Amino acid sequence: MEPEDESRVLVVVVNRKRDLQLAREQGWYRVPLRHLPAQLSADYLAFYQTAVFGPEERWAVRYYAPVLRYRLATRRDLLPDEPDHPRADERYYRIELGPLAELPLPVPAAKLRRVTFIATSFGQLRRASDVRELWHPLEDQQNLGDDLWGAGLAGKSIK
């Protein structure tokens, strides 16, 4: 079943190939409590892939997945193969997901490269031709300029 245009989407950053693999194979994504976006609740997660994905897939949103539920867990619980990680005892939201699907057309970032979180709708995700078109600025932030975006969090233009 195709997502409805009104469905809420949270675009999240994937800066490690393993994180996309975990989303695809184990059906979850993690968000540290200390970096929660203003709007965590969503019907779908969409994944913004960073430079680590190489020239063919970097700096674009290509995949999305339905959100099934949210759970709290420590990083140690989520990634038991990293027991000595400096943030092993920090708490995270484990966002459990349905199967990943590929967007018919990826949404590239022509100028913006640094993304944190973007709250948008599936219709906007489907229609966007650039990542900058996903952000819906809050009315009181509309005059702050193009450098502030992503659910109230910062993104910078790279020229």
Per-residue pLDDT reduced to its tens digit, 43-57: 999 999 999 999 889
Q: What local confidence, expressed as pLDDT, does residue 129 receive?
A: 93
DSSP per-residue letters across 43-99:
SEEEEEE-GGGHHHHSSEEEEEEEEEEEEEEEHHHH-TT-TT-TTTTSEEEEEEE--
Q: Say what the pLDDT of residue 85 is.
A: 85
Sequence spans of domains, the chain: 8-144
Return the pLDDT at 112.
Answer: 65
Which numeric CATH code is attached to 8-144? 2.30.130.30
Q: Which residue has the higher pLDDT, 82 or 121?
A: 121
Once rounded to an integer, what is the mean pLDDT over residues 115-120?
86
Q: Which residue has the higher pLDDT, 2 or 155?
A: 2
Percent of the chain with pLDDT over 70: 83
